[in-house]
Structure 1
Amino acid sequence: MLTVWGRKNSINVIKVLWGLAELGLPYERIDAGMAFGRVNDPDYRAMNPNGRVPTLVDGAYVLWESNSILRYLCMRHGGEKGLALYPADPAARASVDRWLDWQLSTLGPAERNLFWGMVRTPPEKRDMAQVAAAMKAAAECWAILDARLARHGGPYVEGAAFTLADIVLGAYARRWFGEEVRVEGMPDFPALHAWYGRLGAREGFRTWLGPRLT
């Protein structure tokens, strides 16, 4: 049995849970992080020295970092579904990897203050100048993906096939399009919006990204 440590309102945990749903894999989830604690306990730090979530336990094997966990699940347990999400062809796989790395290096840092400023900060304590700057930075990122989707016509990030790139970027798109973070001046990218609508039809998206952001 696979075990996922992490709270279900963490975007990085959500990415893994959505991936598990797409692969149809059974697992156990144990709450950890923020209000649930555990991440600073010695036994947890022995698994994940960063004290963050998620952490995957697969028998004697332990893995942290959500995008690495997604890759591992596809390669180790995914079978044909895993190959569809994370293709074996080197060029196709590298194209997927590019977007997973881009999320970590560029998109995530750009939008962080938008999410934290609007969702995890009480209205009376919001720094709207910081929120506006984060919105602008995130919009510049989403413009890149919108242009790509418009250029090849979709339906997904890598064209015809739904891949890990859609899971990882789709989790962040939920923040961008969610009413919880809407601020004045946010552009509405047509191709990106159409892609996001297609993701919303998937069961894994509805289960893990349908609830209100907290």
Structure 2
Amino acid sequence: MTLHIWGRMSSINVRKVVFAVQELGLSAQRTDAGGHFGLVTEPDYRARNPNGMVPLLEDGDATLWESNVIVRYLCARHAAGTLYPEPLATRFTAEMWMDWQQTTLNPAGRGAFLQLVRTPVEQRDDVLIAQSVAETEPLLDLLDAELARRPYLAGDEFTMADIPVACEVHRWYGLPLARPARPQLDRWYQAVSGRPGAAGVLDMGLS
């Protein structure tokens, strides 16, 4: 059965899922939802995703929401031992970075993204932008330092961990902000951007 993804590509969380699907070489149908596309408040959608947000994945009997959970599920089902590492230490290192993206890096950078991309110039709050930058830059320094120790986030090989963090870095790099030199982060991001799953995801503009 073909996977069905609900969600618009302007959503970072939908982009994570599309990256995973493409990286795994899976066939999927995607229906635009959320934002001006609507659908997420309709009863039928809410019955499958009570949060009324995107993405939503339907895969046979499995109906899942929460983007990082969907990435984990797809990798566990279709790439156990590779994208979904088998050694517990490696697997939970990957899990750790995925949680870090969702609970630490994303909240830090969200303010600058919303102000610089989704807020009219005359309504932007420079204080909020500066605060977001001040919170995000040390986290990118942390990433750069960690990636000096290994090629990818969970070790020597690309895993599920690299997908959500790369989508977050893509969003930050797309903002009109000064970018300090971070050679290891840039090296990693260039490598991830060359992956099969990155096409149409890490090369798209922000909106």
- The TM-score range, normalised by the shorter chain, is over 0.9
Cα separation, 2, equivalents of 1:189 and 1:128: 25
- Residue 136 of structure 2 aligns to a residue whose secondary structure is helix
Verify the 8 A CA contact 2:49 2:56 in the aligned structure 1: yes
1:183 paired with 2:177, answer yes
- Residue 125 of structure 1 is matched in structure 2 by 123
Cα separation, 1, equivalents of 2:133 and 2:198: 23
Count of residues paired in the alignment: 206
Cα separation, 2, equivalents of 1:22 and 1:166: 12
1:73: how far off? 0.9
Verify the 8 A CA contact 1:74 1:83 in the aligned structure 2: no
- Residue 160 of structure 1 is matched in structure 2 by 156
| Residues 78-118 of structure 1: CA deviation (Å, up to 9, x unaligned) | 1xx34311112111110000001111111111110011111
Instruction: Work out the percentage of aligned pairs sharing the same amino acid.
Output: 46
Which structure 1 segments of 5+ residues have no match? none
1:195 paired with 2:191, answer no
- Residue 169 of structure 1 is matched in structure 2 by 165
- Residue 41 of structure 2 is matched in structure 1 by 40
Residues 74-89 of structure 1 mapped to structure 2, 5 A cutoff: 74-76=75-77, 78=78, 81-89=79-87
| Residues 137-192 of structure 1: CA deviation (Å, up to 9, x unaligned) | 01121111111112x1x3222232001111110001112222xx1225x4332211
Aligned residue type for 1:195: W
- Residue 21 of structure 1 is matched in structure 2 by 22
Question: Normalising to structure 2: TM-score of the pair?
Answer: 0.95
| Residues 24-48 of structure 1: CA deviation (Å, up to 9, x unaligned) | 0111111100010000000000000
Cα separation, 2, equivalents of 1:183 and 1:156: 25
Cα separation, 1, equivalents of 2:24 and 2:136: 30
Q: Which has the higher helix share?
A: 1
Which structure 2 segments of 5+ residues have no match? none
> Root-mean-square deviation (CA), in Å?
1.3
Q: Give structure 1 regions of 4+ aligned residues with deviation exceeding 4 angstroms.
A: none
- Residue 209 of structure 1 is matched in structure 2 by 202
Q: 158-167 vs 28-37, which deviates more?
A: 158-167
